[in-house]
Chain A
Amino acid sequence: MNGAQDLGGQMGFGPVAPERDEPYFHAEWEKRALGVTLSCGAFGAWNIDESRHMRESLHPADYYASSYYEIWTKALERLLERHGFVTAAEYKAGHSLRESATPKRVLKPENVAAVLARGGPCDRPVSTPAHFKAGDRVRTRNFNPTGHTRLPRYARGKVGVIDAVRQGFVFPDTNAHGMGEQPQWVYTVLFDGPEIWGEGSDPTLSVSIDAWESYLELA
């Protein structure tokens, strides 16, 4: 979706503000937000793509006014409600008021190290051979899906070169919406700066994205 998250090339946010010796957390609640988010992810009730889509579905004014842990927390509240774990009344009360759905897993402290060290690999075998090879000229599709996609607006309808054929990966555009993993080949596609940014673009710039096969056609 063309949501607030799709930031590439937008203007008006001001300079980057690096912080010297930045701590990992700026408040205690950020630690708990991280831990709660990862713990709930371990339920197995939703996947990372649905989670990303929930974050990008925040109202743009809310998204831009929120720090990243705020975005995570707000999206998590909605995911928990959608999947039957917490009700709006419970958020209002600040306490559990009823039995809820039972998750596949509850993350226990003794399992944390193993779960984090394993991660969540999302490479998958694809039954068809890769359609493109390194060096092929490709054009990205120009579309505006209302659902989740990982093709940013700045890179739609642009001609680039296949820089690398990667692996088969879960397709976020379907996986975010309960339509299955439907894995596809992923490619690194390299664009010249001027192809993307046009007049006045830095001629020494090139930009690459990682694109699922169905985002691409031969140019």
Chain B
Amino acid sequence: MAHEHENDHDHEHGHDHVHGHGHDHDNHLDPMAARVKALETILTEKGLVDPAAIDAIVDTYENKVGPRNGAKVVAKAWVDAEYADWLKRDATAAIASLGFTGRQGEHMQAVFNTPEQHNLVVCTLCSCYPWTVLGLPPVWYKAPPYRSRAVLDPRGVLQEFGLTLSADTKIRVWDSTAELRYLVVPMRPAGTEGMSEGDLAELVTRDSMIGTGLAGQAA
């Protein structure tokens, strides 16, 4: 747990502050903690931000919105062909019907993996990610290694996640360059015919809905 250093007034707050290269960002928590603390302090003193509103935002994305939402969508699509069809045609509405709406999920598209084609989602230009169904993105999704290579060498990237696709499986990469947000619907694992929707949702990992993984196997 990092602590904020309220007395760290020596820190350079200038706009052209450039870090060295190749360091571990974890070594820089204290300067950033001081910088963000100063920002929040200034804005709070001016009455422009309310710390309690910040608490509510954090609580939302730490405890309420996350990949369990997307897992429910996928599991429902696995067991309910009509829902799957709706999800294919109008993902925003089909997802909203389960109560998942809002910021960074306003315009949803669901893309379905098949035995012939695997789908992978990236945002090469920033960090676009379907928050309403997956929550906040992991660090690697926003970082240069993934953003640079997902479009050029997706098979190599998938191997770094421990996923090797067969050589004849086609790979389609969706670069989220506009305001559409993509949810991958992984294939339903074999041997799960008798499982309930709730149990199926447990097999749906976050990575399987980005395309960097597959759904888990039945226990």
Contact = CB atoms under 8 A, between A and B. Distances in A.
Contact of B171 (A25, A70, A206): A206
B56 A210 contact: no
Give the bracket for the number of chain A residues in contact with chain B.
Answer: 35 or more
A212 B103 contact: no
B33 interface: yes
A31 B105 CA distance: 20
B155 to A, nearest CB: 6
Nearest to B165: A204
A117 B29 CA distance: 31
A39 B25 CA distance: 25
Contacts of B155: 202
B171 A212 contact: no
Contact of B42 (A33, A64, A94, A202): A94
A209 B48 contact: no
- Which of B18, B152, B174 counts the most chain A CB atoms within 10 A? B152
Interface in B107-126: 107, 124-126
Give the bracket for the number of chain B residues in contact with chain A.
Answer: 35 or more
B57 A35 contact: yes
Given A40-B49, A169-B179, A27 B106 contact: no
Contacts of B56: 109, 112-113
A61 interface: yes
Interface of A: 5-11, 13-19, 22, 24-29, 31-36, 38-40, 43, 52, 55-56, 59, 61-62, 64-70, 73-74, 76-78, 80, 85-86, 88, 90-92, 94-96, 99-100, 103, 106-109, 111-113, 116-123, 150-152, 154-155, 166-167, 169-170, 186, 188, 190, 196-197, 202, 204-212
Given A7-B125, A29-B4, A31-B54, 18 more contacts: A13-B143, A25-B58, A26-B26, A29-B37, A34-B58, A35-B55, A61-B18, A62-B17, A73-B36, A86-B43, A109-B56, A121-B106, A122-B179, A152-B175, A152-B177, A167-B107, A206-B170, A207-B175
